[in-house]
Amino acid sequence: AGPAAAQAVDTTGLKEAGNTARTVDFAADSMKVDRDKEHIVLNGHVEATRGKVNLTSNELVVEYVDSLNNAKFLNAKGNVVITSGDQVIRGQWARMDVDANTVTLGDDVEVTQGDTVLTGKKLFINLDTGESQMTGGRVKGRFIPE
């Protein structure tokens, strides 16, 4: 396996899971709501679940407009792990653009699915179309989208 300029990642699971359920369950050591800055900061053992997609990280910042449930961006930092079905995506940070329905993960990104592991600098996923792109990465093993 050689360095791949850009490599597709099968994120159909993420796409389906992300587009169905609406409710988000969350937990953390502490949470601060700042209505002036319109953001919510969850700190310590953060876990958020939406449908079949589960995210854990050290910190999660939700940027919203006007109302707590009108989230615009989600920024996870530190030991970010996104699990959906048998696919596990790890990175040091992740940013979700809720309106665009896209997720970008960065720094030491690793996608594991079955016995296939894909690593890279940055992973971009479009949850509407299911398209994804890993850049600056290497592919180990064969990766066959189902």
Partner 1 sequence: MRRSGGLDMVATNPQVKTPHSASAPDRRTPAAGRTGGMIRRARFMAWALTAALVGLVVFFLVQLGMFDGTVPKMPAEDRATPPADSLEIQKPRFTGFDRENQAYEVTAKSARQSETEPNIVYLEAVRGELKLKGSGDLLAIVADDGVYDSESDTLDLSGNVRLTSTGQYTAQLDKAQILLKNWRLRSEEPVDVVFSDGTIHARGIEIWDDGRKILFLNTVRGTVSGDRGKQDSQ
Cβ at position 30, least distance to partner 1 in Å: 5
DSSP-assigned letter for residue 36: T
State which residue, 92 or 126, has the beta carbon closest to partner 1.
Answer: 126
The rounded distance, in Å, linking the Cα atoms of 123 and 80 is 13
Please state the φ and ψ torsions of residue 70, each to the nearest 5 degrees.
Answer: -105, 65
Residue 24 vs 88, nearer CB to partner 1: 24
Q: Which two tokens stand for residue 39?
A: 């953001």
When asked if residue 82 is in the footprint of partner 1 (CB under 8 A), the reply is no
Least separation, in Å, of the C-beta of 45 and partner 1? Answer: 9
**Closest CB to partner 1 among 6 and 27?**
27
Tokens read off for 66:
């006007």
Q: How far apart are CA 109 and CA 124, in angstroms?
A: 10
Q: Among residues 75, 92, 101, 126, which is the contact residue for partner 1, using CB under 8 A?
A: 101
| Interactions with partner 1, residue window 32-51 (CB under 8 A) | 32-36, 42, 50
Q: Which residues contact 102 (CB under 8 A, 6 or more apart)?
A: 96, 124, 125, 126, 127, 128
Which residues contribute to the site for partner 1 (CB under 8 A)? 19, 22-36, 42, 50, 67-71, 98-99, 101
